[in-house]
Chain A
């Protein structure tokens, strides 16, 4: 079945540091890939998405590129802020449905 693997957290960074959160996937067919973010005490929000190979999703300074050859969708940001502290989830959907398969989430803590 489909699965998503994320690096384990927590990831602790200083403000303005470079962020990478690794995500790899296993899927039948050609999945669409997503990053969702969950701020403390809130529901998930879509951060960015990519629906086909080599697409780059971007939002709020975050980027991720759909790499079919390495089955990866790593999240990056050049300069993190304290307000980016949250849990980040990589996810995918395949086929005709809209069933999201999530990774285990990676907690990011950004300190001054």
Chain B
């Protein structure tokens, strides 16, 4: 199926650990994004990559590091996890870095204990 997929779907870990979330899209898009959704459902963009180049980098702690090995993948690595990192993380993709529909993945629910 053509889609945006994320792994894992659920991630439970202890404070201080390092974890990664992977995202892949097979839609042929050249732009990918990471969003964070907090417990009140508020969504905020974190990063965006266009053709493997970082184009949006919001005010995010440098413990968060995105990596785009190719146009179809955008992974999110988080160091030294904190309680406040608990959230649902959504990956998305679009064709072009201008106004086009963004297609979202199913989300990864991260719980930091």
Contacts and interface: CB of A to CB of B under 8 A. Distances in A.
Contacts of A32: 99
A101 to B, nearest CB: 8
A89 B40 CA distance: 13
Task: State which size class the interface on A falls in.
Answer: 20 to 34
Nearest to B102: A100
Given A43-B106, A43-B107, A44-B90, A51 B99 contact: yes
Contacts of B41: 38, 87, 104-105, 107
Contact of A97 (B43, B56, B107): B56
B56 to A, nearest CB: 5
A98 B98 contact: yes
A30 to B, nearest CB: 11
A32 B100 CA distance: 10
B62 to A, nearest CB: 20
B50 to A, nearest CB: 9
B56 A102 contact: no
Interface string A20-34: 000000000000100
A14 interface: no
A105 B45 contact: no
Contact of B94 (A44, A98, A105): A98
A96 B98 contact: yes
A87 B56 CA distance: 26
A90 B40 CA distance: 15
Contacts of A101: 45
A97 to B, nearest CB: 6
